[in-house]
Structure 1
Amino acid sequence: SAMEKYWSIIVWFCIAMATCTTVSANVACLPHERDALLAFMNATLDESLVIVKYPWNWNGFNCCEWRGVECSKSTSHVIELHLAYFSWGYGKRLHPILFHLKSLEYLDLRYNSLVGSTQ
Structure 2
Amino acid sequence: MCGRPAGPAEKADLVADWRLSRRSFGEQVDQRLTIRMRLDPERHEVRVLQEQRTSTKGRSSMSREYGRGGGFSVAWTYERGPDGRRRRVKTWDTRELSNVLRQSVLDAGWSWRPRRFRL
What's the TM-score, normalizing by structure 2? 0.28
Tell me which structure has the larger Cα radius of gyration: 1
What's the TM-score, normalizing by structure 1? 0.28
Bigger strand fraction = 2
